[in-house]
Amino acid sequence: MSTSSLPLANRSALVTGANRGIGRAIAKLLAEQGARVAVHFGSDQEAAENVLAELAGQGHTILQADLEDANEAAALPHRAAEKLGRLDILVNNAGIYETHGIDTLGPAEWQKSWDRTIAINLTAPSLIIHAALEHLEHSGGGHIVNITSRGAYRGEPDAPAYGVAKAGLNSLTQSLANKLAPKRIHLVGVAPGWVLTDMTESFLEGPEGEGIRQQSPLNRTATADEIAQVVLLAVCGRADALTGGIIDVNCASYFR
């Protein structure tokens, strides 16, 4: 298959949190399908450079930004469009998971963890989408995927701000899918459960791993590559009726 016949040929994508895990798998697959990719990272530049070296094709770049900083988050799409020449695809993948038990933390610690989680997992994606809008419109439309979580529905007892942020991200996805449809901008949420990545492997191989796998009738978790395949479907332009949808990818471990 020639490069020009790939489904994402001549398209450019920004993937946040792409230096490892799910983001890395998404960046690699989009590049394999012809896109130029901006690999965002927060602090691990070496990991981002390793991902950059793995990407098929040419014209990719890496971009550092602290998504807890609203100004840095809002600037990220402009920097990506400048480096890539245009912006057609945005994948808001970056996020954090911090435990903050309501019955174990004092008020100051509770608020600090709450504010940080909401800032990175919900406020930053909203700012990035807002800033990306002008570039997507300039490209004649585009695709936005927000990586959410089954925790938006089943709750996160030990990390409630995470569940709140992901529920908010689902609502943001659906609200903007309706608002931006006339501009040919399509939004989809992808909601994984547990995903086997380099970040979760040691935990899943520990004493709690078997119980986690048994949540699914498949007796396994999803893989980062499976999440990436769903993202590709959402951004390839061949299934735009998905806009406004939240796609569960949790090995039948949770239904809503």
**Does any domain span residue 255?**
no
Mean pLDDT for all residues in the chain: 96
CA dihedral for 113, 153, 175, 16, sign (positive or negative) = positive
pLDDT at residue number 169: 98
pLDDT at residue number 3: 64
**Does any domain span residue 63?**
yes
Average pLDDT over residues 47-63: 98
**Does any domain span residue 164?**
yes
Long-range interactions of 116-121: CB distance < 8 A, separation 24+? 116/68, 117/159, 117/161, 117/162, 117/165, 118/161, 118/164, 118/165, 119/67, 119/68, 119/70, 120/67, 120/68, 120/94, 120/95, 120/96, 121/95, 121/96, 121/161, 121/162, 121/165, 121/166, 121/169
**Does any domain span residue 256?**
no
**Does any domain span residue 211?**
yes
**Does any domain span residue 69?**
yes
Residue 4 has pLDDT above 80, yes or no: no
Domain range for 186: 3-249
- pLDDT tens figures, 63-72: 999 999 999 9
pLDDT at residue number 198: 84
> In a 3-state reduction of DSSP, which class is residue 89?
strand
Helix or strand run (H / E) with residue 169: helix 160-180
**Does any domain span residue 254?**
no
Find the distance separating the first CA and the last CA of the chain, reported in whole Å: 40
- pLDDT tens figures, 167-197: 999 999 999 999 999 999 999 999 999 999 8
Q: How many residues can be counted in the chain?
A: 256
Residue 164 has pLDDT above 70, yes or no: yes
pLDDT at residue number 5: 83
| CATH code, domain carrying 44 | 3.40.50.720
CB 86 within 8 A of CB 136: no
Average pLDDT over residues 83-100: 97
Calpha distance 242→142 (Å, rounded): 13
DSSP classification of residue 214: T
Question: What total of structural domains would you count in the chain?
Answer: 1
Q: Give the active site residues.
A: 162
CB 70 within 8 A of CB 123: yes
pLDDT at residue number 61: 98
pLDDT at residue number 160: 97
| Nearest Cα to Cα of residue 109 among 176, 72, 161, 168 | 161
pLDDT at residue number 200: 87
- Token pair for 188: 């989809």
- pLDDT tens figures, 97-117: 999 999 999 999 999 999 999
- pLDDT tens figures, 197-217: 887 888 899 999 999 999 999
